[in-house]
Amino acid sequence: MVTSASTTVHILLFAAYAERLGVERIDAALRPGATVADALAYLRALPGGTELPARPLCARNLAHVGADAPLVDGDELAVLPPLAGG
């Protein structure tokens, strides 16, 4: 398996979650082989991060994914508050 020093994931936060963490975009350097759950753990360690729910909705590169979905370098991961369209 090819490994690089780290996997940079572009994390986007929206609406109530962006307000709780005080930021809309964070680039996270994660270990190679990291999953969505690892990115969420990274967010929880930030100021305000403990206010995120245990299993928020997430989307990788514009499509919904579960917490066990793998992340690769350059992925965009969006953490989505409860949806309220319609």
List residues near other proteins by CB under 8 A: 12, 14-16, 19, 53-57, 59, 62-66, 68-69, 78, 80-86
Residue type, 79: V
Structure tokens belonging to residue 10? 């572009």
State the minimum distance, in angstroms, from the CB of residue 8 to other proteins. 19
Nearer to other proteins, 4 or 72 (CB): 72
Least CB distance to other proteins at residue 64 (A): 5
By beta-carbon proximity to other proteins, the closer residue of 17 and 30 is 17
Contact 14, 84 (CB under 8 A): no
Name the minimum Å distance from CB 40 to other proteins.
Answer: 11
Sign of CA dihedral 76, 55, 47, 71: negative
